[in-house]
Amino acid sequence: MKRNHENSQDVFANAKKVIPGGVNSPVRAFKSVGINPIVIESGKGSIIKDIDGNEYVDFVSSWGPLILGHANNAILEAIQETAQKGTSFGAPTILETKMAELIVEMVPSIEKVRMVNSGTEATMSALRLARGYTKRECIVKFKGNYHGHADSFLIKAGSGAITLGLPDSPGVTSATAQDTLVADYNNLQSVERLFKEHGSQIAAIIVEPVAANMGVVPPQKGFLEGLRKLADGYGSLLIFDEVITGFRLAKGGAQEYFGVIPDLTTLGKIIGGGLPVGAYGGKREIMDMLAPDGPVYQAGTLSGNPLAMAAGLAMLKILNETPYFYEELESNAARLETGLRANLDKTGIKGIVNRVGSLLTLFFTKKTQVTSFDEAMESDIEQYAHYFRESLDNGIYLAPSQFEAMFISNAHSYEDIDTCIEVSLAAMKTMLR
Ligand code: HOZ
């Protein structure tokens, strides 16, 4: 039975009058799935509720950060307690040092870390730092990787940019575009070619160690290691954008999971436990180039904001101290993967399930693998849109795009996973009609 979304429709119609597209980030617009967005009222654990009273098991998890689910008690308590003492000072607090100490302890490559307010700020600042440190101007990025919306990264960008068919945004100057060299994910030769031609001008390679903004595409064996070698060989820096993988694949993120150590790491929303945060960190020698110690300038009134630090700290402590946290997450995610694969087999619908840890994408595709941007782009987005709508109607909230990830949290119970598998099977059956 179709769910009633009347209130959501009304609110969205009003939003469109005063907010561009009715949303504050394009990925929320549901444009590629052919319906209007639902408007959320609340969330607890794995469940979100819309303003029409419909409940959904949420697999978007605020695009990643909610690895403990919605409204986690420890995080709420930390925010409430801290808020009583004031919400922003634009001056040092103990919380930000505690947070930095914990990040340094958990993430293998980070010796010093600077807090910012979003993943976009983290990647654009890390890039400036890499350029300042190496005194070079070009960067290598990968087609379909998404590093936020700073100009340099909106060249062949993933996430909402591909969902909406806008991989190269107007407004990015041709000079910026010239400094951004684009390679193919999982194709070391394409990177080698760029280095052979421009090696002495390349400040850094920036990469999502697991591509998660063109759907989930794991790095193939040797890919990350190969990037490390190339960067070392040419005196460039290797930047891991761990906005999605950080603290999600392991305590130490993808760099711990795959055993490849970058020079700089960018972190995002996950370290705010749901509040707006980002950070970038790395080798001491590089980080010391930042003002006030060094000449590379970057600043922010709300950076290290006490509420965000309190929330993030509460969350990271749980991740750091809970025995078998990542093992349990893995087992839940593996259960989902197995169930979705079985659904494809049962229905004969062509698809590929890619999963790394608690990140997963079901691609509707006739391909036998999805290991690259080009393969991801061959997915049937109409089929995904249909599957999305059926899932939503039956209480499963998925990303409104084929080219995003499902995020499994420790708030998802086996029951939630099994419900998702059941709804998925029913949705696939309707695709056969
Ligand atoms: N990286 C997120 C989606 N893949 C970004 C979410 C957003 O743009 O709002």
Whether the predicted pLDDT of 20 surpasses 90 = yes
284: pLDDT strictly greater than 80: yes
- Catalytic residue at 146? yes
Question: How remote is the CA of residue 160 from the centroid of ligand 1, in Å?
Answer: 7
Nearest to 73 by CA among 280, 354, 273: 273
Is residue 420 pLDDT above 70, yes or no? Answer: yes
C-alpha separations of 193 from 53, 130, 144, 298, 427 in Å = 54, 21, 19, 32, 44
Atom 9 of ligand 1: nearest residue by CA position: 25
What's residue 263's pLDDT? 98
Substitution candidate for ligand 1 out of 31, 120, 146, 270 with most atoms within 8 A of CB = 146
CB neighbour burial string for 276-288, b if at least 16 within 10 angstroms, e if fewer:
bbbbbbbbeebbe
Q: Relative to the CA of 28, which ligand 1 atom is closest?
A: 9
Question: Do residues 371 and 222 lie in contact, with contact meaning Cβ atoms separated by under 8 Å?
Answer: no
Predicted local confidence at residue 162, as pLDDT: 84
CB 337 within 8 A of CB 360: yes
**pLDDT greater than 80 at residue 65:** yes
User: What are the beta bridge partners of residue 238?
Assistant: 205
In angstroms, the CA 242 to CA 207 distance is: 9
Catalytic pick among 179, 185, 269, 397: 269
pLDDT at 360 over 90: yes
CA 48–ligand 1 middle distance (angstroms):
18
CA of 295 to the centre of ligand 1 (A): 31
**Which pLDDT does position 267 carry in this prediction?**
98
Does the pLDDT value for residue 13 go beyond 70?
yes
Q: Whole-model pTM?
A: 0.97
**Which residue of 19, 23, 25 sits with most ligand 1 atoms within 8 Å of its CB, as the best mutation to test the pocket?**
25
Q: What is the CA(25)–ligand 1 centre distance, in A?
A: 8
User: Span 332-355, mean pLDDT?
Assistant: 98
The partner residues of 48 in beta bridges, in order of sequence, read 43, 56
pLDDT in tens, 295-304: 999 999 999 9
More confident residue, 175 or 343: 343
Selected catalytic residue, list 56, 146, 326, 397: 146
pLDDT at position 413, please? Answer: 97
- The DSSP letter of residue 39 is P
pLDDT at 167 over 90: no
The pLDDT value recorded for residue 163 is 87
> Above 90 in pLDDT, residue 177?
no
Q: What is the pLDDT of residue 93?
A: 98
Q: Alpha-carbon dihedral of residues 101, 102, 106, 111, nearest 10 degrees?
A: -20
pLDDT digit string, tens, across residues 393-404? 999 999 999 999
What pLDDT is recorded for position 2? 81
- Nearest atom in ligand 1 to 268's CA: 1
56 classed as catalytic: no
- Identify the structural domains of the chain with CATH numbers, from first to last: 6-71+324-430 (3.90.1150.10), 73-321 (3.40.640.10)
Give the Cβ contact number of residue 251 at 10 Å: 18
Q: Which of 50, 58, 179, 241 is catalytic?
A: 241
Averaged pLDDT for residues 228-243? 98
Q: What is the pLDDT of residue 287?
A: 98
Q: How far is the CA of 159 from the centre of ligand 1 (A)?
A: 6
Q: How many CB atoms lie within 10 A of CB 86?
A: 10
Given the CA of residue 213, which atom of ligand 1 is nearest to it?
A: 4
β-pairing verdict for 40-44 and 112-116: unpaired
- Nearest alpha carbon, ligand 1 atom 2: 63
Instruction: Identify the residue whose C-alpha is closest to ligand 1 atom 3.
Output: 159
User: Is the pLDDT assigned to residue 392 strictly greater than 80?
Assistant: yes
Report the pocket of ligand 1 as residue ranges, CB < 6 Å.
Answer: 25, 27, 63, 146, 159-160, 213, 404
Q: Whose CA is nearest to atom 5 of ligand 1?
A: 63
The pick from 23, 63, 398, 404 for probing ligand 1's pocket by mutation, whose C-beta has the most ligand atoms within 8 angstroms, reads 63
**How far is the centre of ligand 1, averaged over its atoms, from the C-alpha of 210 (Å)?**
15
Tokens at 201, concatenated: 């001008």
Q: Which residue, 160, 165, 69, 46, is CA-closest to 399?
A: 160
Q: Which numbered atom of ligand 1 lies nearest the CA of 405?
A: 4
Residue 234 Cα to ligand 1 midpoint, Å, equals 32
pLDDT in tens, 316-327: 999 999 999 999
pLDDT band at 1 (very low <50, low <70, confident <90, very high): low
Per-chain mean pLDDT for the chain: 97
What is the residue whose two structure tokens read 């970058």?
A: 262
